[in-house]
Amino acid sequence: MDYLVLARKWRPQRFEDVVGQEPVVRTLRNAIRNQRLAHAFVFSGPRGVGKTTVARILAKAVNCEQGPTETPCNECVHCREIRDGVSLDVREIDGASNRGIDEVRELRENIKFAPVSCRYKIYIIDEVHMLTREAFNALLKTLEEPPGHTLFIFATTETSKIPATILSRCQCHDFRRASIGRIAENLKTIAGAEGVSLSDQALRWIAEAADGSIRDGQSIFDQVIAYAGMSIEDVQVEELLGFTERKFLPQLSAAVFQRDAGACLRMLHDGYYAGIDMAKFFGALLDHFRSLLLVKILGAETEVLELSREEKACLAEQVQDVGREELQRYADILLAEEESVRKSGNPRLTLETILVRMAYLEPLLPIEQVLERLERMESRLSGGPREGGGGNRSASARRESTAGAMDRRPSKMDSAIHETVRETDPEAGTPGGLYSGSLPVDGDPARLWEGLKQYIKNQSYPLWSKIESGQVRAVEDQRIVIGFPMDYVFLEDLQLQKNRLQELAGTYFGGQMTVHLESVAPDVSASNGSRERVENGERNQKRQEALHSPMLQKVLDLFEGAEVREIISR
């Protein structure tokens, strides 16, 4: 056969012809120019991105009759022999079929001999990760100190399978996937030279199907020419590449946004009987919702999406009235179901259930709308002016007031406590409203203590729960003594909160107050109240055991800021 496929016919023969590998090419050209060329290289990267091609160009560059040069002439004997693969000094070895230790031993023996005609003897080992461990070990010493006339170039798609001892003896270069735009540009050049006419959209579809591989793109282009001839229509590229599902994607996402599950199922039915692979279609659907989300976040002019300007504009128009949170939820559902679709024996049914769930997903309300509803509810409950009833505050001001008063809004329990305080002492709820100055000499300590407890209960419920078990020992001018049973579990906490306790007592009594906390031993022998003291001692012991419970400690460690307010004995 005289025909040469495009991937071979348009294989780069110079460094500047290599597409999408500028960092690697620049490094190698500078190394040749400055005579700092390493003795061993590892070229790693996906398939079809130019690893073997660059290795051949490097072999020509160092063996060219005009070199070593970064621009081989491609006309001398050495360049032609290397290009045609017949050079005796440049050997390309398949690592998959020459992976044993015997082949490596033979290679080590041949390295000792000088090149036949070239300046360097070069070994290009493709898929080098396929070599056995023994073969790699046999290559170590030779690779570390090869003869001056030898150069090793290893190409691989799986660098992780190459031993670190080999990698440390080589200069490693990572080859990248080519972008869709670069592949389409390369194919457009080939199409112009070959006399093939097709649209830019068709070129982008071919480039997208190449999945970052220049060689794959050229091979697919070759296949499209064989299918459609020298004048290619977009519909022919769609048919050949299986892009029929693309026309369903915008309609399907629009049906999801309109919450029309029936339309989703009908379109899926039509696609199924049009021959679309449901598992492949799910991947296209996931990529479509990803594109919608990115356009919503980054805008229609983003370069993150490798799509045409028309496609980006279409996506931007579709998500104009859809919120980012909603798109994120759709993408999360598709991502969560990706594995189930891949493993499903009936991917069509799985995809139908996913689309129905997406279509019936409850919409998310904006936070502004939620706050407005809360404000209207608060106005109705408090008997204040309804919406439009004469209130002159703006919505934002009302939201600030609501948010600021959130922690100060009294609960039903707080209201009941406040009423109890007022029944006990009408002035107890007013700071400094009862005893401005000093305490009365003939005041009842028990009554004063009860009033203070009720006031503290209204101001700080957690602090009241800790002092509630205390007994007043003395109430004097600017001094109050409170006694607690021995081993009282909250006595240490009260000592730490003593300043707060004194501040509340001073506010209540209308002057500076000093609070003394004492530990009182229970008098079991006393006839009056002895049983109550014994019960209090037992209750305190149970509280202490409860406070040091391992389960309680785990809860306190798990919830940051949690505290024990009250221990109820049953």
pLDDT digits (tens, 9 = 90+) for 353-383: 999 999 988 776 666 666 777 777 777 766 5
Q: Does 431 score more than 50 pLDDT? A: no
pLDDT tens column, 158-174 = 999 999 999 999 999 99
Name 366's Cβ contacts closer than 8 Å, sequence gap at least 6: 323
- Return the CATH number of the domain spanning residue range 6-174: 3.40.50.300
pLDDT tens column, 305-316: 877 777 888 888
The pLDDT value given to residue 191: 93
pLDDT for 394 equals 43
pLDDT at 217: 93
More confidently predicted of 506 and 378: 506
CB contact at 8 A, 511 and 478? yes
User: pLDDT-derived band of residue 531, with 50, 70 and 90 as boundaries?
Assistant: low
Helix axes 309-318, 248-257, angle to 10 degrees: 20
- The alpha carbon of residue 487 and the mean position of all alpha carbons in its chain are separated, in whole angstroms, by 51
Most confident of 25-39, 264-278, 291-305, 510-524: 25-39
For the chain, what are the domain ranges?
A: 6-174, 180-241, 243-359, 367-386+393-404, 412-558
Cis-peptide into 462, omega within 30 deg: no
Q: Which stretch of 107-116, 244-253, 435-444 has the lowest confidence by average pLDDT? A: 435-444
Average pLDDT over residues 215-223: 93
- The confidence band for 324, taking pLDDT boundaries of 50, 70 and 90, is confident
Q: Are the folds of 6-174 and 180-241 the same?
A: no
Of 89-98, 293-302, 535-544, the range with the lowest mean pLDDT is 535-544
Q: How confident is the model at residue 52 (pLDDT cuts 50, 70, 90)?
A: very high
pLDDT at 488 over 60: yes
CA-to-CA distance for 19 and 36, rounded, in angstroms?
24
For residues 441 and 479, give the distance between their C-alpha atoms in angstroms, rounded to a whole number: 12
Q: What percent of the chain stands above pLDDT 90? A: 32
DSSP string covering 368-409? HHHHHHHHHHHHHHHT---TTSS--S-HHHHHHHHHHTTTT-
Q: Which has more confidence, 386 or 380?
A: 380
The pTM for the full model equals: 0.58
- Average of per-residue pLDDT across 91-111: 88
Strand order in the sheet with 479-485: 471-476, 479-485, 514-520
pLDDT at 522: 58
- The residues facing 91 across adjacent strands are 123
pLDDT at 559: 62
90 falls in which pLDDT band (50, 70, 90)?
A: very high
Q: How far apart are alpha carbons 369 and 361 in whole angstroms?
A: 19
Q: Is the pLDDT of residue 326 over 50?
A: yes
- Residue 386: pLDDT above 50? no
pLDDT at residue 523, rounded to an integer: 53
Return the CATH fold of 243-359.
Answer: Zinc Finger, Delta Prime; domain 3 (1.20.272)
pLDDT score for 401? 41
Closest CA to 319 of 290, 360, 344, 348: 290
| Residues 563/462, Cβ–Cβ less than 8 Å | yes
Distance CA 460, CA 500 (A): 10
Which pLDDT score, from 0 to 100, does residue 526 have? 45
What confidence score (pLDDT) does residue 536 get? 60
pLDDT at 534: 54
432 band by pLDDT with thresholds 50, 70 and 90: very low
Cα→Cα distances 86→80, 320, 406, Å: 9, 61, 84
| 153 pLDDT above the threshold of 50 | yes
Cα distance between residue 565 and residue 462, in whole Å: 5
pLDDT band at 398, cuts 50/70/90?
very low
Is 412-558 assigned to CATH 3.30.300.180? Answer: yes
Residue 408 has pLDDT above 50, yes or no: no
Q: Find the helix packing angle between 278-298 and 309-318, rounded to 10°.
A: 80
Q: Per-residue pLDDT tens for 443-456?
A: 677 888 888 888 88
Q: What is the mean pLDDT of residues 215-220?
A: 93
Ranked by mean pLDDT, the top range of 229-233, 302-306, 320-324 is 229-233
Average pLDDT over residues 410-436: 41
pLDDT at 570 over 60: no
Give the pLDDT of residue 126.
92
Question: For the residues 326-353, what does the mean pLDDT come to?
Answer: 90
Domain range 180-241, CATH class: mainly alpha
Q: What is the mean pLDDT of residues 493-506?
A: 84
Q: What is the largest CA-CA distance in the chain?
A: 123
18-22, 517-521, 530-534: least confident range: 530-534
Q: How many CB atoms are closer than 10 A to CB 218? A: 24
